[in-house]
Chains A and B, each alone.
Chain A
Amino acid sequence: MTEFVSMRSVIEASYFIAAILFIFGLKRMSSPVTARGGIIWAGAGMVVATLVTFLYPGMGNYPLMMVAIFIGGVLAWVSGKKVAMTDMPQMIALYNGMGGGAAAAIAAVELLSGEDHGLVFGILAVLGGMIGAVSFSGSLVAFAKLQGIMKRTFRFGAQQFVNLLVLAATVILAGIIVIQHSGVNLVVVFFLLALILGVTMTLPIGGADMPVVISLYNALTGLAVAFEGFVLQNAAMIIAGTVVGSAGTLLTQLMAKAMNRSLANVLFSGFGDEAIEASEIAGSMKPIEAPDVAVMMAFADKVLIVPGYGMAVAQAQHKVWELAQLLKDRGVDVKFAIHPVAGRMPGHMNVLLAEAGVPYDIIYDADEINAEFATADVALVIGANDVVNPVARTDPASPIYGMPILNADHAKNVICVKRGQGAGFSGIENALFFLDQTRMLYGDGQAMASQLIQEVKSL
């Protein structure tokens, strides 16, 4: 018996250490200087918690457990190593969905065992299971959409009503399960409904809003994990889950704010990828050739580069950085200006630039850099569109009106590298392209960057 008790203390102490490592790890991850160490701390916490769980009293099925860990771990390891940086958002969605599914599975096993945990624990188990299942199926839909497996956005008139109906049915079933705490069929139907709810909630949301949704599901998974932690009396799960739940909620709000949307708006309006009728913009787009751009930049004092997702898609970030280095060697002050939602989600562009080797201290946020556009000789907009559209400041009728933008239009010269003449991700015509000081450099981002490098070198 004493051995049993001391084993229990070893386990609890290890979970405690794991929780501390998670919190300090996350804290370190919130600064670029210490971020790398942060994930290693958190990783150590995870290893400790996992290993010590094998010592948990009263457990069996170890071979099965090891097989499951091995398969899941290896698949995730290989896919995580292989994925391109541009595809990072959907990968996060996938792993997050797996976590939600695991939380739902815990709830399912607990509910199926038919043990009476008491009312509070019953409610928590059911709630955690429901949230986990919604997060699971919802994240999978988000993954499918961003990966391009599912291209269409499904929307029909009474969709909100249907969602509400499914939600109500799920909650009622949850109530019955809590009170009766028995019935295999009820539990199965309950989880099926929760899974359907995740799908129907996510289907109408457009691709542009997906990052916010992924972040929301991330927070929800955290919450589900915390609830199941209460049910299993596992302190590490409670603390880690709750920390992620609240941190994720805050992150979701920050992201939504950066995109100028409210969370309710994202979830219920479905703006995402609708084509919007915008007012015609007077003037014309004026093309320019690469040699002229090279001269313009090489003899400038200050060049601000505004990269967008288009640059990343063209895999041009390495070339752009090479170009920036050439300009810096000539004494030009080169800075990167990043809009909060450049790329697929806030901070995604920073990751993509970091991959190309751009040091983070010449990369600036919109707030930090916006005043500098007025003193910049050249603003090089490459693959960005909506985030530099001055319509957001001027035209109240525009759907992006009020969104914080980069003031590229304040620069003395604006060069826009663009594949063709079409509109951007949101389908809104960009007034920046029609300004007097704007010249369009038509072509593939990578090809154009290479050409600019050659031209600057030959000067």
Chain B
Amino acid sequence: MIDGFIALYIFMLAAFTGYEIIGRVPSILHTPLMSGSNFVHGIVLVGAMVALGRADTTLELVIGFIGVFLGAGNAVGGYVVTERMLEMFKSSKEKSS
């Protein structure tokens, strides 16, 4: 059970981690990083799956279905656009294809 202070500790440490990761990023990567972090919160898909998996009533099923649909869109779309952007970053030492 993730409860009380354990939850607070996780929250605090994860928040610190996020802050540290972005802290010294050159502005050239701001857009890809925003897109990348957008992809990472696509993990919401997992929660939506659990919610749909436990749904009983029709209303819950419908909302759960929408949730999974949206979560999958977030994860897949976030990945595709981030990958497309980062793929293009080349240094002048590498030969472009």
Contact = CB atoms under 8 A, between A and B. Distances in A.
Interface of A: 15, 18, 22-23, 25-27, 29-33, 35-36, 38-40, 42-43, 46, 49-50, 53-54, 56, 58-62, 64-65, 67-73, 75-77, 79-81, 83, 85, 88-89, 91-92, 94-96, 98-99, 101-106, 108-110, 112-113, 120, 136, 184, 214-215, 218, 221-222, 224-226, 228-230, 232-248, 250-251, 254-255, 258, 338, 340, 343, 345-348, 350-351, 354-355, 357, 359-363, 365
Contact of B14 (A59, A92, A246, A348): A246
Nearest to B88: A354
Given A26-B37, A61-B64, A36 B29 contact: no
Contacts of A35: 29, 32, 86, 89
Given A238-B11, A239-B14, A251 B34 contact: yes
Contact of A72 (B16, B71, B84, B94): B71
Given A39-B36, A245-B15, A240 B43 contact: yes
Instruction: Find the residue from B4, B41, B70, B84 having the highest chain A CB count within 10 A.
Output: B41
Interface of B: 1-2, 4, 7, 10-11, 14-19, 21-57, 59-61, 63-94, 96
A235 B13 CA distance: 13
A39 B67 contact: no
A241 B41 contact: yes
Contacts of B34: 92, 214-215, 218, 248, 251, 345, 347
Contacts of B73: 72-73, 75-76, 95, 98
Given A33-B91, A39-B83, A106 B44 contact: yes
A46 B88 contact: no
A261 to B, nearest CB: 15
B64 to A, nearest CB: 5
Chain A contact residues, majority secondary structure: helix
Q: When A and B form their complex, which 9 residue pairs have the shortest distance between CB atoms, in order from nearest?
A: A59-B53, A105-B67, A80-B80, A72-B72, A76-B77, A359-B92, A246-B18, A99-B74, A242-B14
Instruction: Find the residue from B2, B34, B49, B79 having the highest chain A CB count within 10 A.
Output: B34
B45 A218 contact: no
B48 A102 contact: yes
A230 B10 CA distance: 10
Contact of A92 (B27, B35, B49, B90): B35
Contacts of B68: 64-65, 68-69, 72, 102
B65 to A, nearest CB: 5
A225 B29 CA distance: 24
Given A42-B40, A92-B35, A99 B50 contact: no
A251 B91 contact: no
A254 B30 contact: yes
A246 B29 CA distance: 17
B18 A247 contact: yes
